[in-house]
């Protein structure tokens, strides 16, 4: 699965919305329910799904989906850690 699809699956789980579609320009305010609690759940879900660990400061700020995807692309390419199999 492409990075975009995998990320979308995490969002769908966290926001309990099977129809959610991600676009690069999206910010937190564009997605219903993206509050501080959901943000924590989301970051954790991404860590699990992509087998990465955010640094403490990276957890808090992420401008938009495009930036998040770029970040994940960089991190998953450079990381030697094997990727975990993702849940739906």
Partner 1 sequence: MIPSGTVSPEQTPSSDRAETRGDAFRKQGRIEEAIHAYLEALTFPLPPALCLKLARCYDQLNHHTEVCRWALAIVDAGDDFTTWLAGCALFQRHAEEGTWPRLRSAKIALVSSFTTTQFCPLLRLAAARLGIQIDLYESHYGQYQQDIIDPGSRLYAFGPDIVILAVHEGDLRLPDHSATPETDVRNEVDRWTALWKMVAERSRARVLQFNFALPCEVPAGHLASRLPGSRYMMTQAVNLRLGEAAGHAVSLVDCERLSALVGKRQWCDPRYWNLSKQAVALDALPLLARHTASVIAADLGLSRKCLVLDLDNTLWGGVIAEEGLAGIKLGQGPEGEAFAAFQDYLLKLKRKGVILAVCSKNNYADAIQPFEQHPEMRLKLQDIALFVANWESKPDNIRKIADTLQIGLDSLVFVDDNPVERDIVKKFLPEVDVLPLPEDPAYYTRALSQYLGLETASFTAEDSERADQYRARAQIKELEAAAGSLEDFYRSLHMQAIVTPFDDAQLPRIAQLIGKTNQFNLTTRRHGMPQLTAFIKSPDYVHLALRLRDRYADHGLVSVMIARCEGDVLDIDTWLMSCRVIGRTVEATMLEHLCRQAAQAGCTILQGTYIPTQKNAMAADAYAKYGFEPADHADGHQVWRYDLRARGPITNTFVRNVDSWETLDGPP
Residues that bind partner 1 (CB under 8 A): 10, 13-14, 16, 18, 36-37, 40-41, 44-45, 48-49, 54-56, 59-60, 87-88
- Token reading at 58: 């990276």
By C-alpha distance, which of 12, 85, 13 is closest to 49? 85
Name the minimum Å distance from CB 75 to partner 1.
15
Contact 61, 55 (CB under 8 A): no
CA dist., res. 20 & res. 61, Å (int) = 22
In the complex with partner 1, the residue whose CB is nearer, 45 or 65, is 45
In the complex with partner 1, the residue whose CB is nearer, 25 or 55, is 55
């Amino acid at each position: 699965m492409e990075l975009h699809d995998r990320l979308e699956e995490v969002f769908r789980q966290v926001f309990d919305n099977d129809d959610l579609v991600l676009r690069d320009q999206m910010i937190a305010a564009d997605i219903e329910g993206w509050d501080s609690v959901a943000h924590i759940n989301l970051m954790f879900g991404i860590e699990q799904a992509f087998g990465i660990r955010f640094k403490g400061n990276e957890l808090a700020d992420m401008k938009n989906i495009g930036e998040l995807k770029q970040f994940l692309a960089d991190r998953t390419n450079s990381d030697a850690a094997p990727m975990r199999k993702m849940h739906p």
